[in-house]
Amino acid sequence: MQVTLKGQPLDLEGIQPVVGKKAENFSLVDLNDSLVELTELLNKPLIVSVVPDIDTSVCAIQTKRFNQEAASITEINFVTVSNNTKEQQSNWCAAEGVEMTMLRDEDVEFGKNYGLFIPEINHLARAIFVIDQNGVIAYEEIVPEIAQEPDYQKAIDAAKALI
């Protein structure tokens, strides 16, 4: 699969998840250096927001938007994944006054398992997954143009439908 960055085509490494199939398990580290596994998050519907680089404007907008939504919908779990460093993620959260579950994929294992790693730029593609309590993907969006925002409402509606 390909996405673009300001019109330039980029290849994604791996096979992308499909709606209706079981989500690939993951183990990622949060800002407290605690290991977080997918299975621990499945007590509620889960929105996984994947951003290429937390220090860019569209990624910041996406993360803030979902953080606001997550605060208002307590029946849904929400995480953001990027392959930024702990320091970059921590600094962003501190600067924005945001407290949320921010997971880092520094070895890009998640990115490769979910078919989102872009070797040419060493970042993940912009994507959203909604996963039900059984670990099945209920919604996915891999944004075709990295510089554009995802469809927030479709993801939120898909998660709310699982409540």
Model confidence at 99: pLDDT above 90: no
User: Which pTM does this prediction carry?
Assistant: 0.96
Summarize pLDDT for 21-35 with one digit per residue, the tens: 999 999 999 999 999
Instruction: Tell me, yes or no, if 59 is annotated catalytic.
Output: yes
Catalytic residue among 59, 116, 128, 155: 59
Q: What is the mean pLDDT of residues 84-93?
A: 95
Residues β-bridged to residue 37: 27
More confident residue, 146 or 71: 146
Quickly list H helices, 39-160: 57-72, 86-96, 109-113, 152-160
Q: Is residue 71 scored above 80 in pLDDT?
A: no
How far apart CA 114 and CA 128 sit, in angstroms, is: 11
2-160 is classed CATH 1.10.287.130: no
Which residues, at least 6 apart from 18, have a Cβ–Cβ distance to it below 8 Å?
137, 140
pLDDT digits (tens, 9 = 90+) for 27-70: 999 999 999 999 999 999 999 999 999 999 999 999 999 888 87
Domain boundaries, the chain: 2-160
